[in-house]
Amino acid sequence: MLKIGIVLASTRPGRKGDQVARWVRERAASRGDAEFAVIDLRDHPLPHLEEPPGFSGQYQDERTRAFAAVVAACDGFVFVTPEYNHSLPGVLKNAMDHIHVEWNSKAAGFVSYGGVGGARSVEQLRLVCGALQLADVAPQVTLPLATEFENHTVFAPGDHQLAALETLLDHVIAWSTALASLRGGEAEAAIRRRLDEVVEALRAKDLEALRGIYAPDVVSFDVEPPLQHAGVEAKLKNWAKVFTIFEKVDYELRDLTVTVSAGLAVGHGFGRVSGTLPTGEAVTGMWVRATFVFRHRGDGWVIVHDQASVPFDMASGRGVVDLEPGTR
């Protein structure tokens, strides 16, 4: 199911945006075509651009990585924003500038409030969205302080605003759905590049490069005992064992299929470790069934689970290790 982030863009004391965001969330909860979650910028106190631009999706600051992971998990956004001095809040601009690829190819809608309903804030936001490859939808909800807030303080929207909000959500969800296939293609390419990095690191016997590809809490099911390798150190220890066996290591992947959805990806195909022993003898290895599960975090995709398995002969209980991909 699609996930839409409701971005609460004000962090000021006494803000009115929390009332508006709660209204959007409560109304959206009755829909069955997406799930909704509030992204409160108070929960993400980002520094003021203290690292290089994040065009590659690689971030140095842990706060940026945490925020990027939250944004990456969403398929679209509803920005709840006030208007400050004819423009958007600085904290929102800073948050949008901090990351890049996590916004790309997603939909955005706007619920604004202020002296003239926050309309001029949205004018500026649409320009920012264009630069971030966010598809901003035309319908929007504008909430003037004079008519939609009692004493300019307590949010009390008129009934006509409900229809406007439903129209906005309809468009955000429709565009998020349409863009999902494009995002899947981009993510699949990133996953395949990540697996290419695994192959390169294995051939180079580079344990530190492998460390950056696996999640710290990775769980791996291999063809060798024990039943599982829990944690990145156990996974690297297993690869280190392979590196001691082979003077030269090779790794192949065939018939790989990748499926991506909402910050998770699964790849499956056939893998084979081969190489040359210290004696100079070439070992062709065996083909195994290989499965990879990836999770997107702020600095890219990491492997959270992988599994290598072989079929077995039920009569003898022995593994069958001489099969080739494509055989039945």
Report the alpha-carbon angle 9-14-16, nearest 5: 50
Quick check: 10 and 113 in contact, CB under 8 A? no
Q: What is the pLDDT of residues 233-283, one digit of tens each?
A: 999 999 999 999 999 999 988 888 898 876 789 999 999 999 999 999 999
Please state, in angstroms and rounded to a whole number, the distance separating the CA atoms of residues 58 and 37: 25
pLDDT value at residue 185: 76
Q: Among candidates 81, 79, 56, which has minimal Cα distance to 68?
A: 56
pLDDT score of 125 more than 90: yes
pLDDT value at residue 114: 95
Write the secondary structure of 299-318 as one string of H (helix), E (strand) and C (coil).
Answer: CEEEEEEEEEECCECCCCCC
Q: Among candidates 159, 149, 176, which has minimal Cα distance to 20?
A: 149
57-66, 134-143, 170-179 — which is least confidently predicted?
A: 57-66
Q: What is the pLDDT of residues 39-87, one digit of tens each?
A: 999 999 998 877 776 665 667 788 988 898 899 889 999 999 999 999 9
> Which residues fall within 8 angstroms of residue 316, CB to CB, at 6 or more apart?
none
Token readout for 133 is: 């490859």
DSSP track, 225-270? SSS-EESHHHHHHHHHHHHHH-SEEEEEEEEEEEEEETTEEEEEEE
Task: Quote the radius of gyration of the chain (alpha carbons, Å).
Answer: 25
Specify the DSSP element, H or E, that contains 110: strand 106-114
pLDDT value at residue 327: 53
pLDDT score of 171 more than 70: yes
* Average pLDDT of the chain to the nearest whole number: 90
pLDDT value at residue 234: 94
pTM here is 0.65
Say whether 199 sits in a helix, a strand or coil: helix
pLDDT value at residue 285: 87
Quick check: 308 and 292 in contact, CB under 8 A? no
277: left (phi over 0), alpha (psi -120 to 50) or beta: beta
Q: What is the pLDDT of residues 182-233, one digit of tens each?
A: 777 778 888 888 898 999 999 999 999 999 999 999 999 988 888 899 999 9
Other Cβ atoms closer than 10 A to 137: 22
